[in-house]
Amino acid sequence: MKYTIRKANSSDLTFLISRCFPDGEPDEGFINNIILDESNVSLVCANKKQILGFVIGRILTKYPSSSPDNGIWMQATYNELLEGIVPNNHAFCEIYNLWVANEYRQKGFALKLKQTVESYLIDKEVYYIIASTKKMNSPVIQLNKRLKYSVIKQNLVPGYVCFFKELSN
């Protein structure tokens, strides 16, 4: 199957929002800012007919754990969690959402999306990634382990496991 991985754009927003918030009221401003902000990571895997999968991440800066949260949700928690792992004032990427359509799962699309994100981040000189997934999401847990992510925290958010990876250039 022929597909491309490309930067998400404004024409993808409705679809991405519907997948990021399938059960509730979306925070469209939050998603719009992540997707359309060039400093973040938003990639779409698509063929000529449809989106097969996507990954959305935001690039943040690690501050000393005593720093204020700067109005960014989870910033203070990440600062504390990453203390001693990510140097202060260095960027890291929070993978916000990784999604692949049901009929395309277990076919390597999530792997290719995450590998593309890693290459993208290295090009931007961002060498740290944090990603969380539900404890019962064994395919993503196995994918993270295959890609050499380490578990750094259980239940940062109840029912989730948090992974970390340091990239090398």
Q: Each residue's pLDDT tens digit in the chain (169 positions)?
A: 899 999 998 899 888 888 877 666 656 676 677 788 888 999 999 999 999 999 999 898 887 766 555 555 566 677 778 888 888 889 999 998 999 999 999 999 999 999 999 999 999 999 999 999 999 999 999 999 999 999 998 877 788 899 999 999 7
Whole domain around residue 120: which residue ranges? 4-166
Domains contained in the chain, number: 1
At 102, which CATH number? 3.40.630.30
> Residue 72 region, left (φ>0) first, then alpha (ψ -120 to 50), else beta?
beta
Tokens of 105: 């799962």
In degrees and rounded to multiples of 5, residue 53 shows phi and psi of: -175, 170
Q: What is the DSSP string of 82-144?
A: TTTTS-TT-EEEEEEEEEE-GGGTTTTHHHHHHHHHHHHHHHTT--EEEEEEETT-HHHHHHH
Tokens found for residue 88: 């202060």
How much is the pTM?
A: 0.87
